[in-house]
Structure 1
Amino acid sequence: MDATIGDPLLLASVERAFEKQPLPDFWEQATPRAMIVAVVLSVVFGFVTLQIQMSTGVVPGLNMPISVLSFIFLKWFVSLLRSCGLPGSEPFTRQENLLVLTTVTTVGNLALTGGFALYIIAMTSTVAKALGETNPDPRDIVDNFPAGQWMLFLLLIGLMSVLTSVPLNQVMILDYRLLFPTGTAQAHLINSFHTPHGAIMAKIQVATIFKFFFGSFSWTAFSWLYASGKDCGFSSFPLFGLQLYKKRFFFDFSATFIGVGMICPLMVNITFLVGGIVSWGLLFPFLETKSGQWYHTPSPSSLAGINGYKVFISVALILTDGIYNFITLLIAAFLDFRQKQQETDTVVGNYLRKHPSLNYDDRRRIEVFLENKIPASLPVAAYGVCAIICGVVIPQIFHQVNFLHVIAMYIIVPVVALTNTYATGLTDWNIAYTYAKFTIFVVAAWVAKPGAIIVALVSCGLVVSALHISSQMTQDVKTGYMTLTSQRALIMMQTFGVIVGSVLTPCIFRAFQRSAKANVPIGAADSEYPCPYAMLYRAMAVIGTGGVKELPDHCLTFCYAAAGFAIAVNTLSVVSQRKGWKIQVYIPSVTVLALPFFIGSAVAIDMCIGSAVIFLWMKMNSQSAAILSSAVAAGLICGEGLFALPSALFTLFSVEAPMCMKFIHSGKQVDLADSFIRNMSTPAKP
């Protein structure tokens, strides 16, 4: 790095590059043109999200494509207004860019968790018959659901998600100082689009972002060429051998998670890897030896088999960690409230006085963030009112559900939302669907009578929507924090996104229903839209009606041990912080430790490689690393994220990759593969 550049912390400042631009007020951020562009993009991404989910069940992250397209569409729309001589043709701001992004993301997440490919389809007789229920109880079937009622249901759970996220914003972003890697990458990308000309370091950072952006995008496109089929391509590269690959220890060449690892603290990445080693390297191989003794089903997805241990042990760890932190947070908030009653300084002044070492960017962002904060009492009171309304309205929509079921979910959601958002902020991993599966089993066991399946699936809908959408909303608020976007404007646009999504998504689903082939309804195995996860969700509800006796042997014993471990680790963490012990920096996060129980160690290996890159870079050139590491990470994350758009289009038009790169054991398998290839027909020579 050129020694004449000067102080790297000063030159790396983003907000100094923007300080000559006046900060737009509320209505200059939440503009009509931003709303118009948001609605147009919401239609596009709502359609894409729902189609992919109903076809394959797996939807790629679309945040980065939305970030880029929101900028392009806004720029095009402003140019159109200017050419027509219409008002609203002044240059748009980074705040408008983000508000379009958060609106479209909210609509996409509502489509993703609205149940049209999951729990709503799981209620139908089509899925029930596919599971072998020859004469399902009519009380456990919902085939025809009016679009108006479904719009109302989506509106209620969407508002629940907004109200759940608001009290978490300051806690996660300022108090816990969580990174939210995707939110941070979005902020770097948006800031780079709008950085004023003339800032030397800003130009260097923008050039770095786009250099690694195109590199990451190109690598992902190249990798796609070899990924035709299951377990094909570089994402299934058995770098450590096929035996470890089966235990989910492999490097999948993911630029996204290498970038995430460069942003995340080293302790988070190491804890992630340790969790993978403990689960897939030690615990699960031990449980596999008990097949036929502790459990008897070979199905890898049944809660009555080994999957029951995986789900319940990990949920016990995460849920205990969440409850412990929730109680700790309530105590801290109470003490902080009493202290603030005795202080005369402003909220901003108090926070900055307690953190005197903050740099210019952080101080500026905290000032704007706290000046636009929403009093916690307002969303809490609104949440209580929403709970009562839902407790009355939802039982009118689903007659199997009663007021108590709904209120129970409203009590549980804030605790679990804290944990899920915390995990998203640390590792970028959202585990809302795991909580949803757990909810299905628990509620079905709780009701345990005809109608229990519908109650469990509706409860699943409340939980998965509230957790998934609220964590993504807090992630967007993190982006807003780094772009000086009004938190109030963000929440208004998120609410606008909920309203648009609740109307738009059922209409899109009706269009898919009408386009489906005759006599092959959505959800059927041979349908164009098979909704593969709907059957799994209904199967969990069916198993849950049998209660805990359906779980494999000793599963609850492992859960109790996991809960005790989580309490011990959290207690040690609290005590070490109060005593000032040096060991506090080495105490792992229980939630991070539990995440690999679901996803294996591939992500952890990627993230540790990201840490290794930062370590070597700091050794070689610490000044360059301090200035450009975040830009490199943002470029890696954004490049692979943007490829989700062409990937989605390929899926829409049934375009498959041309090749499959697959690895097999040496010996007889190689001979069989060679024989197969030799016997393949080859095109005749001209």
Structure 2
Amino acid sequence: MGTKSSSVEILEPLLLSSQNTGSRESEPVPEWKDQITIRGLVVSAVLGTLFCIITHKLNLTVGIIPSLNVAAGLLGFFFVKTWTGFLSKLGLFTKPFTRQENTVIQTCVVACYGLAFSGGFGSSLIAMDERTYQLIGTDYPGNRAEDVKKPGLGWMIGFMFVVSFLGLFSLVPLRKVMVMDYKLTYPSGTATAMLINSFHTKTGAELAGCLNEFGCSCLVQPEVPRNTVPLGKQVSCLGKYLSISLCWSCFKWFFSGIGDSCGFDNFPSFGLTLFKNTFYFDFSPTYVGCGLICPHIVNCSVLFGAILSWGFLWPLISKHAGEWYPANLESNGFKGLYGYKVFISISLILGDGLYNLIKIIMITVKEMFNQSSKQTNLPVMKEILDGENSKLLTEKRRDEIFLKDRIPSWFAASGYVGLAAISTATIPLIFPPLKWYLVLCTYILAPALAFCNSYGTGLTDWNLASTYGKIGLFIMAAVVGPKGGVIAGVASCAVMMSIVSTAADLMQDFKTGYLTLSSAKVYVCEPSSGNSHGMRDCSAHFLAVLDCV
């Protein structure tokens, strides 16, 4: 899907030119152990807890979780800089705050709050609660009292422990393919890296608001070559549009309608007739920014899909209500129109993702048998020109650092197999209807779906883990049958969501680390720390919310 155009169209304009970043890229890169600090872990724990609460709030009310990567990087920079500045005024020595450490903090926070979504706290786990059983109706077909499992801190933490780490190992061997060969954008990861890189430069610090010798605020503009964009303008632009977005979101909140009523969140731009088919504008700066950073081919494809589905396909299917599906179903019933929407969308996404997965496997096998070739890169995109002339020095250094601290494929495979074995033996103890061989089948299928989701996230910044989780839900529920199928399906959905979502978040962090010259080994250690915090924080806060309802 336009991989080559994506790299030319997106990455090059976003990243600073080699002349403008030469001094920054030539800075020594600390070892991966030095990138993990005590103060970073403390800040990560505090921000992770805060973001878990925010994610739970959004997950249980709106149901849509925006990417908080940029906010995590910004707040991490703010807290550590405030702390180091305070200690400096006291005359105490502080270790320099590097962009690698800032990236590590952001990674840990993302792993922590990501578990609030991927753990199924707003979907799978709450579906097992007794309140959900009562809301559906005790006389609803298939809704049995035996399928109720009361949330508890012990089994929830145990369940999170055996499933949350698997996603970290599922796609590690393909990180080079996704980030370097495919050159996927990962918009949130790229934006976070740009923010961190902008702050961790001498110019960026000056632009953040330094004081000159007369005590007045100044913005220092360095001398830059012609045809290059000064860093000052980039940081100034960042602050300006950040303020505009924040002020507009606050203003829009005061004039938004309730539910699906009118207002800035549901503005009928094309009239009330098309408004009924969801053709309206919500004035969301998040999606506007996403459209700006995504390549044209992605935006055009999404627009084409929206027009084709909501303009033609869904109205056409709805006319056959009563023939193709029962006419008296609710709008979110899978036996009706909503089922067509979900399964057609899943099929298209899976088809494209599986095509790229099969393509990579075939090329990898070919390279393994081609011993005479000295190419170490998977030729997803072959370099036509000589490497010395076709790559900027900064990009070459990123490649070297990204591949320096390799995570062996055998380690990732062993970790996945070992954790899968533990999980296969443990999950049936928590959810008896979900037998061990069904759990094993889920773990065999999960890496392929994780790749598809990570590939789609790299193009569009949309994590469709809940959509892929529905695949496990329907398959396992159908296999188990009416007795225990609900619990088995919902539990399988939680397992699938955890693996698929964690893999996509990890690949997003790999993209950030690639652009900030951070070690790849950190992205296995820090997400593990973030998941550990998330298990406790998410479970405890989730139970507190349920008790307050």
| TM tier relative to shorter chain | 0.7 to 0.9
Q: Partners of 2:88 and 2:160 in 1: how far apart?
A: 37
Counterpart Cα distance in 2 of 1:316 and 1:10: 38
Residue 319 (1) aligns with residue 350 (2): yes
SS of the counterpart of 2:165? helix
Confirm whether residue 239 of structure 1 aligns to residue 269 of structure 2: yes
Distance in structure 1 (CA, Å) of the matches to 2:392 and 2:92:
42
Match of 1:57 among 63, 68, 86: 63
Distance 2:277 2:98 in 1: 48
Corresponding pairs, count: 506
Identify the match of residue 286 of structure 1 among 316, 340, 357: 316
| Structure 1 unmatched runs, 5+ | 1-7, 517-526, 528-686
Contact in 2 for aligned 1:12/1:202 (Cα 8 Å): no
Residues 181-218 of structure 1: CA deviation (Å, up to 9, x unaligned): 11111111111111222464222222222222222222
User: Which of residues 10, 20, 29 in structure 2 aligns to 1:23?
Assistant: 29
Which is worse superposed, 18-27 or 188-197?
18-27
SS in 1 for 2:150: coil
CA contact (8 A) 2:67 2:188 kept: no
Q: 1:153 to 1:9 in 2, by over 3 A?
A: closer
Q: What residue is the counterpart of 2:465 in the other structure?
A: 432
Distance of aligned partners of 1:329 and 1:55 in 2 relative to their CA distance in 1, 3 Å threshold: same
Name the counterpart of 1:192.
198
Highest RCO, 1 vs 2 (Cα 8 Å, sep ≥ 6): 1
Shift of 1:113: 2.4
Out of 127, 130, 135, the position equivalent to 1:125 is 130
Q: Which one of 178, 198, 209 corresponds to residue 238 of structure 2? A: 209
- Do the aligned residues in 1 keep the contact of 2:69 with 2:189 (CA within 8 Å)? no
Deviations along 1:424-483, one digit per CA (max 9) or x if unpaired, are 111111111112223322221121131111110110001111112211221111111111
Q: Name the counterpart of 1:105.
A: 110
SS at match of 2:232: helix
For 1:336 and 1:86, the matched residues in 2 are separated by: 55
Shift of 1:116: 2.8
Contact 1:17 1:199 in 2 (8 A): no
Aligned to 1:618: none
Q: Given residue 214 of structure 1, which amino acid in structure 2 is its aligned partner?
A: S
Shift of 1:144: 5.1
State the match for 2:442 in structure 1. Answer: 409
CA distance in 2 between partners of 1:157 and 1:187 (Å):
29
1:224-248 per-residue CA deviation (whole Å, 9 max, x = no partner) reads 2211412443332222222223223
1:116 aligns with 2:121: yes
Task: Give the aligned partner of residue 449 of structure 1.
Answer: 482
After alignment, is 494-503 or 209-218 more displaced? Answer: 209-218
> Paired residue for 1:336?
367
Do residues 370 (structure 1) and 403 (structure 2) align?
yes
Instruction: Please state if 1:393 is matched with 2:426.
Output: yes
Cα deviation digits, residues 19-59 of structure 1 (max 9, x gap): 34211111221112111111111122122222342344344
Instruction: Report the AA paired with residue 466 of structure 1.
Output: I
Q: 1:13·1:360 contact (CA, 8 Å) conserved in 2? A: no
> Paired residue for 1:304?
335
- State the one-letter code of the partner of 2:517: L
Amino-acid identity (%): 36
**Are the aligned partners of 1:195 and 1:202 in contact in 2 as well (CA < 8 Å)?**
no
Q: Which residue identity is paired with 1:173?
A: V
Q: Tell me which amino acid in the other structure corresponds to 1:68.
A: L
Answer whether contact 2:18 2:392 (CA < 8 A) is retained: no
Query: Are residues 245 and 138 of structure 1, via their aligned partners in 2, closer, same or farther at CA, if it must alter by over 3 Å?
Result: closer
- Secondary structure at the residue paired with 1:22? coil
Amino acid of the structure 1 residue aligned with 2:240:
K
Residue pair 2:257, 2:265 contacting (<8 A) in 1 also: no
More helix by share: 1
**C-alpha distance in 2, partners of 1:406/1:239?**
47
Q: Contact conserved, 2:257 with 2:266, CA < 8 A, in 1?
A: no
1:56 and 1:202, CA in 2 relative to 1: closer, same or farther beyond 3 A?
Answer: closer
1:262-661 superposed matches below 5 A: 262-296=292-326, 297-339=328-370, 341-342=371-372, 355=387, 356-514=389-547, 516=548, 527=549
Is the 8 Å Cα contact of residues 181 and 428 (structure 1) preserved in structure 2?
Answer: yes
- CA distance in 1 between counterparts of 2:337 and 2:254 reads 34
Instruction: Tell me the secondary structure at the aligned position of residue 521 of structure 2.
Output: helix
Mapped contact 1:94–1:190 kept (Cα < 8 A): yes
Indicate the structure (1 or 2) with the bigger Cα radius of gyration: 1
- The equivalent position to 1:256 in structure 2, one of 283, 286, 293, is 286
Structure 2 residue runs of 5 or longer lacking an equivalent are 1-13, 204-221, 225-229
Secondary structure of residue in 2 paired with 1:115: coil
1:227 alignment partner in structure 2 = 256
Once the two structures are superposed, residues 142-186 of structure 1 have per-residue CA deviations (whole angstroms, 9 ceiling, x without a partner) of 1253x2332121122211111124233222111211101111111
What amino acid does structure 2 have at the position aligned with 1:247?
Answer: N
Residues 357-366 or 243-252, more deviating: 243-252
Residue 140, structure 1, aligned to residue 147, structure 2? yes
Structure 2 letter corresponding to 1:469: T
2:236 corresponds to which letter in structure 1? A
Work out which of the residue numbers 81, 90, 100 in structure 2 matches 1:75: 81
1:107-128 Cα offsets, whole Å, 9 max, x none, are: 1010122233321221123211
Length-normalised TM-score, structure 1: 0.69
CA RMSD of aligned residues (A): 2.7
1:48 and 2:79 correspond: no
State the AA in 2 paired with 1:277. I
Which range is displaced more, 89-98 or 502-511? 502-511
Whole-angstrom CA distance in 2 between matches of 1:274 and 1:51: 33
* Alpha-carbon shift at residue 134 of structure 1 (Å): 4.6
